[in-house]
Amino acid sequence: MNKLFRILAPSSALSVVIHIVLWISMIWLANIGFAYMTVDSLDYSLLYYGAHAFFVGGPFIVFVTFVTRYQIRFQKHLSLLSRKDGLTGLNNRRTFMELAQMRLDESACGTLILLDADHFKRVNDVYGHAVGDVCLKEIAHRLKWNLREIDVAGRIGGEEFAVLFAGATIEQARVIAGRLGQPIPFRAEGVEAHLSITLSMGAVLIEPDVSLDAHLIRADQALYAAKEAGRARLVIWSEPSPPPTEDGLKKSAA
């Protein structure tokens, strides 16, 4: 049904005119065919049947065309609202997970980074949520400015963001993270102070046999370590060292 609506709905002003002309022409031909089937001849001229199609069917065709066009636009708007974060314009969590998984299905390599705004609660408490919203928009702008078309970014929590750098090594992601980690200035109406915010980041290298959810957990652990280490920095996740075995303890004691 959606595919049918897309075919019926014109996408431009020229397309509207073409649709109307085609529909009226079809009604014109239908009138002529009906006349032949009922009386075996045309009692009136072809111009008459054309005028009949235009004045009788034209208004109805115009109405249906514009209603269909509005319906398609409305569906696209609803689809966008369901997939995007309304404040920042980034992908919401569900869409980020879907797109990131698609990228990993195409090529199971890259680097995943979680980013969290440092002391964001303080911004909301001191300056209000409207200023906090401006802050989040500026963070999203910084992300968009530094991403490639193949990368996937999303707002996955209140002040938490995620980026999948498709096909990127840790070193390549570290370079981009260096740009993302610079203080992000923002200003809001009614606030004279020049404000800025920093980001704490946790990164993990994608492993082919590890799920996306597991990578998110690892990146979150690295993010927590970045905050514990003083914030405004990037920490790369690394596999925890296994506990020493009994043989190992004996060797070290010797």
Q: Which amino acids are annotated catalytic? A: 159
* Cα(111)–Cα(237) distance, integer angstroms: 11
CA distances from 122 to 18, 129, 147, 170, 220 (A): 57, 10, 28, 32, 22
Supply the DSSP string of 183-250, one letter for each residue.
-EEE--TT--S-EEE-EEEEEEE--TTS-HHHHHHHHHHHHHHHHHTTSSSEEE--PPPPPPPHHHHH
* Cα(31)–Cα(155) distance, integer angstroms: 57
Closest CA to 25 of 59, 44, 49, 60: 49
Which DSSP symbol is given to 85?
Answer: -
Q: How far is CA 229 from the centre of its chain?
A: 32
The phi and psi torsions of 67 (rounded to 5 degrees) equal -65, -45
* Cα(241)–Cα(22) distance, integer angstroms: 72
* Cα(197)–Cα(40) distance, integer angstroms: 82
First to last CA, the chain: 77
